Structure 1
Amino acid sequence: MPKLSPADVPEIKLDSVALAIEASMTREQRRGLFEKPGRVVVAIVELTSKTYTGHAEDEDKAPSVKVRVTGCEVARTDEDATTLREAKRAMYRGRQIDGTLDEVGEGPMRPDSQLAGLVADKPTEDELMAHKRAVEERNRAQYVR
């Protein structure tokens, strides 16, 4: 893989595979996006680099990398959407403080310090596993009858 000079900033291109996004959305959310142009859903996404394009040193083209959404969860309630927007604003403030942006906003500076409280009422991994076991047991009990 070619090395980039410190001055090079690759262009990011989004891969067209959106299965992770589609799988995380409800039927109503999908219909809402179609029926109401301009509608917004809020999501957490994971991006994975899949391919890159490099050029010869004397080429006047910027390097690029194609990324694919490989993980996604879409907010299903207004409260979840508000939580994600707050986390986004907190990360934005962090970029401002780091010098990426010009102005500093008000509020907490570290999103990770806020997320624990914001997701406190959401199920834990242990609760999810217990739920899955209970569903499996119910399904097994139905077939035994």
Structure 2
Amino acid sequence: MPKLRPADCPEVKLDSAAGSIEASLSREQRRGLFEKPGMVVYAIVALTSKTYTGHAEDEDKDPQVKVRVTECEVARSDEDAAALADAKRAMWRGRQIDGTLDEVGEGPQRPDAALLDITASKPTEDELKAHKRRQEDRRRAEYVR
């Protein structure tokens, strides 16, 4: 793997594989994205670097890395979308304060604080495991009949 000089800032390209995005979208969201150009959905994604392009020292090209969305959860309610939009705005304000953007906005600087209320109403890992056990028990009971 090539080493970057301190001044180098690689260009980031999105890999075309988007299976995790598609799997996270509801049928209605997929149709809406197609039928209503400009429609916005909010999602939490994990990006994983997959390939890079290094350049010879005497080339005048920036290094490049391709990333792929490897995990994705899309907001399926207005409440979830609002929480993700709040978190995004808080993170954006943080970048402004860090000097990445020009203007400083109002509000909290902890994006996770915007999600605390919404995540409190979502199932816990233990609740999910219990739900899966109940489903499996129902399947077994139907199989026995």
Whether the 8 Å contact between 2:79 and 2:118 is mirrored in structure 1 is no
Give, in angstroms, the shift of residue 110 of structure 1. 1.2
* Partner residue, 1:107: 107
CA–CA distance in structure 2, aligned partners of residues 4 and 86 of structure 1: 35
* Partner residue, 2:123: 123
* Partner residue, 2:74: 74
5+ residue gaps, structure 2, are: none
Map residues 21-60 of structure 1 onto 2, 5 A cutoff.
21-60=21-60
Give, in angstroms, the shift of residue 115 of structure 1. 2.4
Give, in angstroms, the shift of residue 144 of structure 1. 0.9
| CA deviation profile, 1:61-92 (whole Å, cap 9, x unmatched) | 11000000000000000000000000001111
Whether the 8 Å contact between 2:47 and 2:67 is mirrored in structure 1 is yes
3-state SS of paired residue (2:120): coil
CA–CA distance in structure 2, aligned partners of residues 101 and 129 of structure 1: 43
The one-letter code sitting in structure 2 at the alignment partner of 1:112 is: D
TM-score (norm 1): 0.96
CA–CA distance in structure 2, aligned partners of residues 101 and 136 of structure 1: 51
RMSD across aligned positions (CA)? 1.0
Give, in angstroms, the shift of residue 113 of structure 1. 3.2
Moved over 4 A (4+): none
5+ residue gaps, structure 1, are: none
The one-letter code sitting in structure 1 at the alignment partner of 2:57 is: E
Whether the 8 Å contact between 2:50 and 2:67 is mirrored in structure 1 is yes
The one-letter code sitting in structure 2 at the alignment partner of 1:98 is: D
